[in-house]
Structure 1
Amino acid sequence: MRKPEVCGVKFLFLVGGFAESPILQLAVQQAFSSRCRVIIPQDVGLTILKGAVLFGLDPTIVRVRRSPLTYGVGVLNKFVEGKHPREKLLVKDGIQWCTDIFDRFVSVDQSVALGEVVQRSYTPARPGQRKIIINVYCSSQDNVQYISDPAARKCGTVSLDLSETDSSPKQRRRREIRTSMQFGDTELRVTALDVATSQSVRASIDFLSN
């Protein structure tokens, strides 16, 4: 209730099976009635079920939802002395990289519109790389920095073939891999696109199973 995005809330609806408890109803009214009006609908235990049925009949009734988790991908970034821990240092072809970086696409509890797309662009770690694997991670926390953090867990993977279509030096330069996350009704769709060849792969992550 202290968050800026809900500071103007005037009504609080108590719903769900446990909301039928007189003890819970009294406790919620005592805690929040001075800030907003607490509304307990009829058949409070069936409210969630009715909403699920309405959503099943017409998914467009939900325009915006809050992300249940923080979602991102694991990436390599240039190693910055003093910023990144030494145990994350990886040297490839004379270049110092920081491994296990959690690149956030959306934060837990962030409002996302139905069909909204968040996009990032990456390049393979080395020229001539034949395949890129993008691991998707999620967390119930918003302050995740590395995919190795205890709060982070892998929830999906997309693998994109980067086989050369042309042996010219121009084609052998590092490619742009455009990665996007699209928020659907109950799932997150992850797509990786090789801009040079227009080849793409995708995966879906079910919100309900996370």
Structure 2
Amino acid sequence: MLRMSSEAMNELFHPTINDLLKKPEVKGIKFLFLVGGFAESAMLQHAVQSAFSGICRVIIPQDVGLTILKGAVLFGLDPTIVRVRRSPLTYGVGVLNKFVEGKHPKEKLLVKEGKNWCTDIFEKFVSVDQSVALGEVVQRSYCPARVGQRKIIINIYCSATDDVVYITDLGVRKCGTISLDLDELDESNSPKRNRREIRASMQFGDTEIKVTAMDVRTSKIVRASIDFLAN
């Protein structure tokens, strides 16, 4: 059995309490509800009441630990009960853009087929704290790097800030991958200049991020999957 002193427990809670009090979102609020298992902590209740009781009304419902469970049950019965969510992070992928002299750093320059490209550009899907409606979809198009390619792997990156420019910026991390499985396509009847385009649709407004994809040339559904666990 592990025993901890009250002083040690206080030290464990200090980072969470201090971070909460520094968030700009707590300014201008009139009511503050404490719910969930963490809200049962007398230490957290005291810290929140001490910090906010003078500027807003702090409400601690009965059975605060069951509030999240009840909400999950209600959501299971009617998923449309939550119509808008806020994105907890900024999500995007790394892409190549045309290199602009004086704007992009030299170390990002990639010369490919006689053209200058800037690597590691962070293409944003949604921004941190952005309101995302239920069923809202973000669409992007991708092309295989070579003829006959049977699989496209797209890395997803995230950041706690909105001012991301490159996937190599401080605080940006790889958080998932999108896999697109391509059927074999007969290129003999298609002009070589027309690159194969795969249109991916990502849904961010639900309890999880979902992805579907379509081959634009054939209008066939492409097998698509998203994985946030293997990172």
TM range (shorter): 0.7 to 0.9
**Unaligned regions of 5+ residues in structure 2, if any?**
1-22
8 Å CA contact 2:84, 2:205 repeated in 1: no
Q: Which of 212, 216, 223 in structure 2 is aligned with 1:195?
A: 216
Please, which moves more after superposition, 159-168 or 9-18?
159-168
Report the Cα offset of residue 95 of structure 1.
Answer: 0.5
1:88 aligns with 2:119: no
Q: Which of 39, 46, 55 in structure 2 is aligned with 1:19?
A: 39
1:148 aligns with 2:165: no
Q: Which residue of 2 aligns with 1:159?
A: 180
1:102 aligns with 2:122: yes
8 Å CA contact 1:164, 1:171 repeated in 2: no
Change in Cα spacing, 1:137 to 1:113, as seen in structure 2 (3 Å) is same
Report the Cα offset of residue 104 of structure 1.
Answer: 0.6
Report the Cα offset of residue 171 of structure 1.
Answer: 5.7
Tell me the distance in 1 between the aligned counterparts of 2:168 and 2:184. 30
Tell me which amino acid in the other structure corresponds to 2:218: T
The structure having more radius of gyration, on CA atoms, is 2
Tell me the distance in 2 between the aligned counterparts of 1:176 and 1:96. 22
8 Å CA contact 1:187, 1:204 repeated in 2: no
Please, which moves more after superposition, 46-55 or 158-167?
158-167
Tell me which amino acid in the other structure corresponds to 2:99: F
Report the Cα offset of residue 33 of structure 1.
Answer: 2.9
Report the Cα offset of residue 196 of structure 1.
Answer: 1.5
Q: Which of 64, 73, 85 in structure 2 is aligned with 1:53?
A: 73
Q: Which residue of 1 aligns with 2:10?
A: none
Aligned to 1:29, what secondary structure does the other structure show?
Answer: helix
Q: Which residue of 2 aligns with 1:33?
A: 53
1:181 aligns with 2:209: no
Tell me which amino acid in the other structure corresponds to 2:167: I
Question: RMSD between aligned alpha carbons?
Answer: 3.0
Per-residue CA deviation, residues 44-90 of structure 1 (Å, 9 max, x unaligned), is 12212222222233322221112222211221111112222222211
Please, which moves more after superposition, 39-48 or 178-187?
178-187
1:204 aligns with 2:204: no
Higher strand share: 1
Q: TM-score, normalised by structure 1?
A: 0.79
Per-residue CA deviation, residues 81-131 of structure 1 (Å, 9 max, x unaligned), is 222222221111101111121101011222111111012345566xx6443
Tell me the distance in 2 between the aligned counterparts of 1:12 and 1:34. 12
Tell me the distance in 1 between the aligned counterparts of 2:156 and 2:134. 20
Tell me which amino acid in the other structure corresponds to 2:223: V
Per-residue CA deviation, residues 152-208 of structure 1 (Å, 9 max, x unaligned), is 2140122353855343564632344323211253211123433112242322356x9
Q: TM-score, normalised by structure 2?
A: 0.73
